[in-house]
Amino acid sequence: MPDRRRVLQTLAGLFLSAFGLGSYAYAWEPAHQGVTRYRLKPADWPEGKSLRLAAISDLHVGGPHVPVSRVREIVDLTNLLRPDLILLLGDFIASRPKRPDDPPEAAWAAELTRLQAPHGRFAILGNHDWWHDDRAQRDYRGPTEVRLALEAVGIPVLENDALRLETKAGPLWVAGLGDQLAFLRPRRGQRRGIHDLAGTLAKIDDDAPVILMAHEPDIFARVPARVSLTLSGHTHGGQVRILGWSPIVPSHYGNRYAYGHVVERGRNLIVSGGVGTSKLPIRLGVPPEIVLVELG
């Protein structure tokens, strides 16, 4: 039978290990930005052509790890990557209730307007960008405060819309889906989301490649092969990820669309782990990231 000293030493070791791991998950990993790189060639991508996409998701500005100064750092790092196109995948707002000391939308939007890419910067909204807006929730319609802030600094917000761009890789469609969880308490007969996948894709009228931005990745189960690449956020990779598995994922599909590059029936999805945190202010095994995609 173990003596009392050995038991106490074991308990102390377990406590210190748990304390150290918790400190790492709260103070270290969420504050250390990385770049996650992917290289892929969709089936319909033109031969010999390349394009570099940068994607930023789930900033959650005003949360415990993302003051406006952190947004400035992320913008600077993204510009150093020299992307051809920058896509912002939603959830600009902190996940907690509003507070009087929250940074104004204009402050972080002004930082995002410094993003530089020859083929432009485009955004979609996430669920928290809708949930934070009392007027939008009450009236069951936009535009949200976040959308107005982005458009005020010249960043187009695509909600069930598609734009055709002329890029160095040839013509390209950038499409943005309305949020799938826009309303916290939908009225009877009211949909929870404003997403319209069929209506968005109906605006594409030629065979140029299509990049689809969809904040929540669950829609990917319905995305047709016509779409070259779907980019999503929302899950934060589960925020805790152990050996490629996340115990909690805000998705109907669990770990299927939790994080990273997913290939199904020849279709490509990349789910960003995002930057900020939601609900619990921790990250473990899924550090904050800017996603860089080399197409071609």
CATH number assigned to the domain comprising residue 190? 3.60.21.10
Q: What is the pLDDT of residue 98?
A: 81
Is the per-residue pLDDT at 5 higher than 90?
A: no
Q: Are residues 87 and 8 in the same domain?
A: no
In order of 143, 153, 160, 217, the CA distances from 201 in angstroms are: 21, 27, 8, 17
Supply the mean pLDDT for the chain: 92
pLDDT, one tens digit per residue, over 254-264 is 999 999 999 99
Q: Are residues 105 and 171 in the same domain?
A: yes
Q: Are residues 89 and 205 in the same domain?
A: yes
Domain span including residue 114? 34-295
- Please classify residue 23 by burial: count the beta carbons closer than 10 Å to its beta carbon, then call 0-12 exposed, 13-18 middle and 19+ buried: exposed
Q: What is the pLDDT of residue 95?
A: 87
Q: Which residue has the tokens 């406590």?
A: 15
DSSP state of 84: S
Q: What's the mean pLDDT in 51-66?
A: 96
Q: Are residues 64 and 166 in the same domain?
A: yes
pLDDT category at 24 given cuts 50, 70, 90 is confident
Is the per-residue pLDDT at 197 higher than 50?
A: yes
Is the per-residue pLDDT at 267 higher than 90?
A: yes
Q: Are residues 95 and 236 in the same domain?
A: yes
Q: Are residues 8 and 111 in the same domain?
A: no
pLDDT category at 198 given cuts 50, 70, 90 is very high
Q: Are residues 5 and 49 in the same domain?
A: no
Q: Are residues 12 and 82 in the same domain?
A: no
Is the per-residue pLDDT at 14 higher than 70?
A: no
Is the per-residue pLDDT at 20 higher than 80?
A: no
Q: What is the pLDDT of residue 38?
A: 98
What six digits make up the tokens of 64? 């415990």
Q: What is the pLDDT of residue 124?
A: 98
Alpha carbons 62 and 261: distance in angstroms, whole number: 29
Q: Are residues 26 and 39 in the same domain?
A: no
Amino acid at 241: R
Q: Are residues 3 and 81 in the same domain?
A: no
pLDDT, one tens digit per residue, over 122-171 is 999 999 999 999 999 999 999 999 999 999 999 999 999 999 999 999 99
Q: Are residues 265 and 210 in the same domain?
A: yes
Q: Are residues 98 and 63 in the same domain?
A: yes
Q: Which residue has the tokens 């969420």?
A: 30
Number of domains the chain contains:
2
Alpha carbons 121 and 113: distance in angstroms, whole number: 9
Alpha-carbon dihedral angle through residues 245, 247, 250, 251, given to the nearest 10 degrees: 60
pLDDT, one tens digit per residue, over 170-196 is 999 999 999 999 999 887 878 899 999
